[in-house]
């Protein structure tokens, strides 16, 4: 399953594609009422284990990255400027951005960058920082 996410602090617009069935859909998931967390946990409960989630890099998504790491889902972070440059329409709409990220991932045209391009793990020892960036995980 591939999911394109346009992430905001209070909600996320998603576009998803199930490679096995060809199912496509779009949704808006609120964070405050737990709807987003339930959606991703439900995927795991339904046995969907191969999940790639693509999104623009943002500093407000730490809880979301932790959730995806806990569920064993792969996170792809993209450069917001590069994604913006690939928009056909220059006006920004959340659902269109989610669709664009999904399309770029399906076409292998989503350039991932940085440590978040791999499966991420969160350090529970010291600080809750993504492993590879915290001191205890590096042994320093």
* Tens of pLDDT, residues 33-75: 999 999 999 999 999 889 999 998 887 888 898 999 999 999 9
Distance (Å, rounded) from C-alpha 133 to C-alpha 135?
7
Provide the pLDDT for residue 14: 97
Which 3 state secondary structure label does DSSP give 81?
Answer: helix
Query: For 6-112, where are the alpha helices, taking DSSP H only?
Result: 35-45, 62-71, 80-85, 94-106
At 48, list the tokens.
């969907």
Q: Across residues 84-101, what is the average pLDDT? A: 81
| Measured distance CA(117)–CA(89) in Å, rounded | 27
Distance CA 16, CA 36 (A): 14
């Amino acid at each position: 399953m591939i999911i394109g996410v346009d992430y905001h602090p209070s909600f996320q617009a998603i576009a998803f594609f199930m490679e096995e069935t060809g199912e496509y859909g779009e949704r808006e998931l609120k964070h405050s009422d737990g709807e987003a967390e339930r959606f991703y946990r439900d995927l795991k409960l339904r046995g969907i284990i191969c999940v790639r989630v693509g999104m623009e890099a943002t500093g407000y998504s730490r809880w979301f990255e932790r959730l995806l790491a806990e569920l064993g889902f792969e996170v792809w972070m993209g450069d917001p400027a590069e994604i913006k440059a690939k928009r056909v329409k220059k006006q920004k709409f959340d659902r269109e951005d989610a669709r664009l990220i999904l399309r770029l991932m399906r076409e292998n045209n989503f350039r991932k960058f940085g440590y978040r391009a791999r499966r991420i793990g969160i350090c529970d020892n010291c600080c809750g920082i993504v492993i590879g960036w915290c001191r205890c995980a590096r042994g320093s």
